[in-house]
Amino acid sequence: MSENILLSFKGSKIINTEIKLTGSKSECNRALIISALSNGSVSVENLSFAADTITLDKVLKVLSTESEALNAKLIDIGPAGTAMRFLTAFLTNQTGKFVLTGTERMKQRPIAVLVEALKSIGADISYEENIGFPPLQISGPFIQTSASVKIKGDISSQYISALLMIAPTLPLGLTLTIEGELTSKPYVEMTLAMLANTGIGHEWNENIITIKPQAFNTSKLYVEPDWSAASYWYAIAALADEASIFLAGLNGYSLQGDSKITEIMANFGITSQFKEGGVYLKKEPKKLERKIFDLKDCPDLAQTVIVVCAALGHDCTFTGLETLKIKETNRVLALQTELAKIGVKLIEKNFSYKLDCSELYFPDQLFINTYEDHRMAMAFAPLALKINTLEIQEKQVVEKSYPYFWNDLAHAGFDLTTKY
């Protein structure tokens, strides 16, 4: 039975709390793949408790202990999109036959760009059902026929990261040409930095990244707390009357692209002071002057920032949202549908999205559909500071990236009730 969560915040809208966030899902999933590719030379510390990471960790552990099966081994990663992309590349260079699948929504999320890139260098992959989509049948290890591969840069940076991580284990290495504009560049930079921390060198000249065949050093990868999770606390600070929040473990020199939330939320009067092993958020009076936000490098912040702007009545424009339609749900459509419940329109025109808050209102009660998307639940949760009773569908959806989210909200003073 699905459980919903009822949220409210009684009394003065003042937030004064300290939160310890789980490890970054983005870093953790890369670290796990790198560790598996290194055959144990690379260890991982501060594993995330996110469901996607737990799923990937279990799959990799099973693959490392089970002998080669005569029949294709079924690997079901559920709704874990990053795991689907990373394992697609990883499995091509493992011994055995595999069928890689996931939820019904996962079967609707395109993966042809990555599959065709891998096939162009010799990988043995075929589509089990619909061309261009999971499930996939993969046989490995493949005989590499070329070191050169081309891939579009404006679809998903995870495709590029998936290729880069297996590159040092390939006999010919990899010379990867990124075609067109690169979306989410910080995530590619994160992958390369983590590889560098394990002894893997690379060259990046204009739109070409080259990684030669090379061995991993014996090393450790420490996963820092999740800046994506931190973004919801910035949103809470922005919608509160007063806020003083300490997020432990975060630093100002993060590999994570979503650390850009510090810059974005400064526009809303949220200051970030790094000290005492974390970051202090404080709300200060400020008039919003910036009206255009380019989220190309941090699309996972889109829902958070758009909901904050809508709730504050700011008619802002957003760009760089091209990948949102192929996420856990069509996030553009989901935002348009749910924001309409508070009278706000998100209008799409020529790859930009503009908020119309002229009819913004806050009903006494509001129900939010999550569409099985963890970020929909967490991006809309701060509206409990504006609405007396906020009901969010499928409370368990947050387990995908931030399993203790509801507990942390309770710790910060929100009232929570589970509705069956």
Neighbours of 175 (CB within 10 A): 17
Among 57, 297, 300, 373, the active-site one is 300
The distance of Cα 127 from the centroid of its chain, to the nearest Å, equals: 25
Query: Residue 121 belongs to what H/E stretch?
Result: none
Distance CA 47, CA 32 (A): 9
Contact between residue 265 and residue 237 where contact means Cβ atoms under 8 Å apart: yes
Q: State how far the Cα of 391 lies from the Cα of 393, in Å rounded to an integer.
A: 7
Q: Which residues contact 220 (CB under 8 A, 6 or more apart)?
A: 42, 43, 44, 45
CA dihedral 330, 261, 161, 210 (to 10 degrees): 140
Name 70's Cβ contacts closer than 8 Å, sequence gap at least 6.
Answer: none
What tokens were used for 99? 């069928």
Q: Which residues contact 341 (CB under 8 A, 6 or more apart)?
A: 363, 366, 367, 368
Contact present, 327 and 379 (Cβ < 8 Å): no
Q: How many residues does the chain have?
A: 420
Contact 146, 121 (CB under 8 A): yes
Q: What is the token pair recorded at 168?
A: 């040092």
Q: CA end-to-end span of the chain, whole Å?
A: 7
Chain centre distance of CA 97: 29
Tokens 């003065």 belong to residue: 12
Residue 22 to residue 7: CA distance in whole angstroms:
22
154 is catalytic: no
Q: Which residues are catalytic?
A: 300
